[in-house]
């Protein structure tokens, strides 16, 4: 240290762990890398940070490049900086995890040959990307226990079952239906609509939406959820 002169600069990248939920499983969006090294292998979506670009902006840009989406839920995980993590050239990467809905409306940029994978079925990833995914999963799990989750991952209207399945997918364990409903209701963030979803059962199940104001308030406050 002492001053800025003679300090060497380093390549800086962002890699995005993009989570989605298909009403059944938690998934991640991976791309097939089209340049060396590791060309043709599965990878997180990533890109380099420009000198005049905030890290958060770079993450948003990179995510938009792939999905066309803006205003996505995006949160920094941490920096990954082993010297040889990228064998081609020293690159430090900052991991971000994103939550997006899996929707027909979202058109993925063809250029990247992206594909959704169930977390459990994900292929081997390049570099330290598998570590990033594992870290992101742990982070998402912690987040689900301390703040409401689902707004970013579920369709606008959803059934109680879907919400429970989402929690189960994130936490990796089965939850008791009655206890789950009691706890979610205690949070007071849901609005029950008059509508029923008739696809899942003969009886049909009521659709809910999030009360966005209350939801956001709970996100701020946080809580300690024992599901």
- By CB under 7 A, name the binding residues for DNA: 159-161, 176-179, 181-183, 196, 198, 200-206, 224, 226-227
| 160 contact partners, CB below 8 Å, separation of at least 6 | 180, 181, 184, 205, 206, 208
Contact partner, 160, from a second copy, DNA, none, Cβ < 5-8 Å per class: DNA
- How many CA atoms within 13 Å lie on the side-chain side of 149? 27
Integer Cα distance of 203 and 173 in angstroms: 26
Q: Determine, following the binding rule CB under 8 A, whether residue 49 of this chain makes contact with a second copy.
A: yes
Q: Does 90 bind a second copy (CB under 8 A)?
A: yes
Q: How far is the CB of 10 from a second copy (least distance, A)?
A: 5
The one of DNA, a second copy, none whose footprint includes residue 138, by CB under 5 to 8 A per kind, is none
Minimum distance of a second copy from residue 206's CB (angstroms): 33
Does residue 52 belong to the site contacting a second copy (CB under 8 A)? Answer: yes
| Segment lying near a second copy (by CB under 8 A), choices 4-12, 126-134, 197-205, 206-214 | 4-12
Burial class (CB in 10 A: 0-12, 13-18, 19+), 17: buried
Q: What is the C-alpha to C-alpha distance for residues 118 and 99, in angstroms, rounded to an integer?
A: 14
> Tokens 């809910």 label which residue?
208
Residue from 55, 57, 65, 54 nearest 29 by CA: 65
Q: Which does 161 bind (CB under 5 to 8 A by kind): DNA, a second copy, none?
A: DNA
Shortest approach of DNA to residue 206 CB, angstroms? 4
CA distance 183 to 2: 55
Query: What's the min distance (Å) between Cβ of 162 and DNA?
Result: 8
Contact 30, 114 (CB under 8 A): yes
Question: Is 98 a residue that touches a second copy (CB under 8 A)?
Answer: no
CA distance 74 to 12: 18
Q: Residue 110, interface with a second copy (CB under 8 A)?
A: no
Residue 82 makes contact with a second copy by CB under 8 A: yes
54 vs 107, which CB is nearer to a second copy? 54
Judged by beta carbon distances under 5 to 8 A according to partner kind, the member of a second copy, DNA, none in contact with residue 55 is a second copy
Q: Which of 212, 176, 39 is nearest to 220 (CA)?
A: 212
Residue 53 sits in the site that holds a second copy (CB under 8 A)? yes
Are 205 and 161 a contacting pair, CB within 8 Å? yes
- Residue ranges in contact with a second copy by CB under 8 A: 1-4, 7-12, 34-36, 46-56, 62, 65, 76, 78-79, 81-83, 88-92, 94, 224, 226
């Amino acid at each position: 240290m002492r001053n800025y002169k003679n300090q060497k600069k380093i390549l800086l990248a962002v890699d995005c762990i993009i989570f989605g939920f298909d009403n059944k499983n938690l998934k991640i969006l991976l791309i097939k890398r089209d340049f060396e090294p590791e060309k043709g292998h599965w990878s997180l979506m990533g890109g380099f940070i420009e000198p005049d670009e905030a890290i958060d902006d770079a993450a948003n840009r990179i995510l938009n490049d792939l999905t066309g989406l803006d205003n996505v839920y995006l949160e920094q995980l941490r920096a990954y900086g082993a010297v040889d993590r990228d064998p081609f050239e020293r690159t430090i990467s900052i991991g971000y995890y994103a939550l997006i809905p899996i929707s027909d409306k979202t058109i993925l940029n063809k250029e990247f040959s992206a594909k959704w994978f169930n977390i459990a079925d994900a292929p081997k990833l390049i570099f330290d990307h598998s570590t990033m995914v594992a870290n992101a999963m742990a982070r998402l799990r912690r987040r689900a226990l301390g703040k409401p989750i689902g707004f970013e991952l579920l369709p606008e209207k959803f059934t109680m079952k879907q919400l429970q399945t989402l929690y189960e997918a994130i936490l990796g364990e089965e939850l008791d239906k009655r206890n789950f409903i009691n706890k979610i209701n205690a949070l007071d963030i849901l609005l029950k609509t008059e509508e029923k979803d008739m696809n899942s059962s003969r009886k049909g199940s009521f659709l809910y939406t999030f009360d966005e104001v209350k939801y956001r308030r709970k996100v701020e406050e946080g809580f300690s959820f024992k599901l």
